[in-house]
Amino acid sequence: MIPSRARLADLATAAGVSTATVSRVLNGKPGVAKTTRAQVISTIEALGYQLEDETPAHEGFVAVILPELANPSFAAFATELSLQLSAADRHMILCTSGPGATSEVSYLDALLSVNVAGIISVSGTLADSLASPEHYRRVAGDVPAVFINGYDETVPGAFFSSSDAGAVAMSVAHLRSFGHERIGLAVGQERYLPTQRKVAAFRALGFPRTSIASTIFSVEGGQAAAARLYESGHTAIICGSDVMALGAIREARARGLDVPGDISVVGYDDSALMAFTSPALTTVRQPLPAMCQAAVSALLAAMRGLPLEHTEMMFHPDLIIRQSTGPHT
């Protein structure tokens, strides 16, 4: 290793890279481009220092960044990723970057300073069209990263998403089989990629813009969106999340409407308790284990030095039919 009197900052300046990159090279961490690693090693040797053998490739933490844990869907992703990383003998650092918490950019800066070996982002800033992807472009040469339900073609990385178009298509087909034609879409803010994709798929099926209500991904947001759609005569609602669907059911009951007798409601995510609501919620289930397995496998391969496929792998969800949908009367 480099003697203690040699400062990382000096070596980084001489090599023209960040101190985090020098540290990763010194500690034998994966995730550094071959040309960059060679440049750092060449600089260190030119200064008269010697490198010890690299540390084993199985060492190092994997950071999982997601918006929050209050949403059951994100908690499920955290649990599944933890299980799969543990099975691969990897330790996970969990970072929640929602409102009021540490920002994703701040997390990335901190993670680079502690030599994190890889990053998995779930529904992060790359799913937000108003957020800059620059921080991920900046770290791409230092740390391999994979993204679940977020995509940006300018960021080096692998992407794994559940098909929003498939979710909308199967929900619409199910409701139409019950005779519903006045179908509404209740979704979150259209700054988010999953919302944009659901809206585009819904419009492509011939529905007007007036059949879409965009609010926020919460019970209150679902209730507000449902109120608009009920008042305009919609008899069925497809929601962008399970919690929004619970809000839609609450609004129906506040108006004296029966679910599914008067109104049919479809959720999205199939959170753990949706089979036990009243009525049990018909919802779209993301193939969460398969998505997590693919993301972890790709990340581990990249951490061993293999290139990441810069592509988006799309997974097909399943419609779970329960009691919140029924025939139009």
Amino acid type, 73: S
How far from the centroid of its chain's Cα atoms is residue 161's Cα? Answer: 8
pLDDT digits (tens, 9 = 90+) for 267-288: 999 988 999 999 999 999 999 9
Edge-to-edge strands of the sheet including 91-96?
Answer: 91-96, 61-66, 118-122, 145-148, 158-162, 312-315
**Residue 257, both tokens:** 């409407």
Mean pLDDT calculated for residue range 155-181: 96
3-state SS, the chain, equals: CCCCCCCHHHHHHHHCCCHHHHHHHHCCCCCCCHHHHHHHHHHHHHCCCCCCCCCCCCCCEEEEEECCCCCHHHHHHHHHHHHHHHHCCCEEEEEECCCCCCCHHHHHHHHHHCCCCEEEEECCHHHECCCCCHHHHHHCCCCCEEEECCCCCCCCCEEEEECHHHHHHHHHHHHHHCCCCCEEEEECCCCEHHHHHHHHHHHHCCCCHHHEEECCCCHHHHHHHHHHHHHCCCCEEEECCHHHHHHHHHHHHHCCCCCCCCCEEEEEECCCCHHHCCCCCEEEECCHHHHHHHHHHHHHHHHCCCCCCCCEEEECCEEECCCCCCCCC
pLDDT digits (tens, 9 = 90+) for 67-122: 888 888 899 999 999 999 999 889 899 988 766 656 888 888 887 777 788 999 99
Tell me the pLDDT band of 55, cut-offs 50, 70 and 90. very low
Percent share of the chain, pLDDT over 70:
90
Report the DSSP pairing between strands 91-96 and 118-122: unpaired
Mean pLDDT calculated for residue range 316-324: 97
Mean pLDDT of the chain: 88
Cβ neighbours of residue 192 closer than 8 Å, sequence gap 6 or more = 127, 128, 129
Amino acid type, 13: T
Report the DSSP pairing between strands 264-269 and 282-285: parallel
pTM: 0.79
**Residue 123, both tokens:** 């529904």
Question: Hey, how many other C-beta atoms are within 10 angstroms of the C-beta on 161?
Answer: 21
pLDDT digits (tens, 9 = 90+) for 176-185: 999 999 999 9
Is the per-residue pLDDT at 301 higher than 80?
Answer: yes
3-state SS, 213-242, equals: EECCCCHHHHHHHHHHHHHCCCCEEEECCH
